[in-house]
Amino acid sequence: MFNPGYFEDDILGGSMYPRSISHRAGGPPRRFDEYYRCYPIAMLPGPERDNVNHGGKAILPPSALDKLTRLHITYPMMFELRNGAADKLTHAGVLEFIAEEGKIYLPYWV
């Protein structure tokens, strides 16, 4: 049975993560907000990676790792992916940071 007020009295303040984990206490939330051109894994240069199509992980450029490192993010990394033109939203993790700059490679089903 669904109970919408179940977490309201929780010691974590109704959040899945404590405030210190979800964002810096007293400061603005850290945000990684970038725009990339999306390509299927099949277009990734180098050896074939058929197994990557069966997961929910993306391949990002090295500059993304640099920016994420400076933000002192928590692990595991989970990204919200938006397609503004189609008004769609999904989530993905990251597998590697080897993509060309400005590109992201995603499994075909994403």
> What is the chain's pLDDT, residue by residue, as a tens digit (110 residues)?
444 444 444 444 444 444 434 444 445 557 788 889 999 988 888 887 778 888 889 999 999 999 998 988 888 888 888 888 888 899 999 999 999 999 999 988 87
Query: 104 - beta bridge partners?
Result: 38
Residue 31 φ/ψ region, left for φ over 0, alpha for ψ in the -120 to 50 degree band, beta for the rest: beta
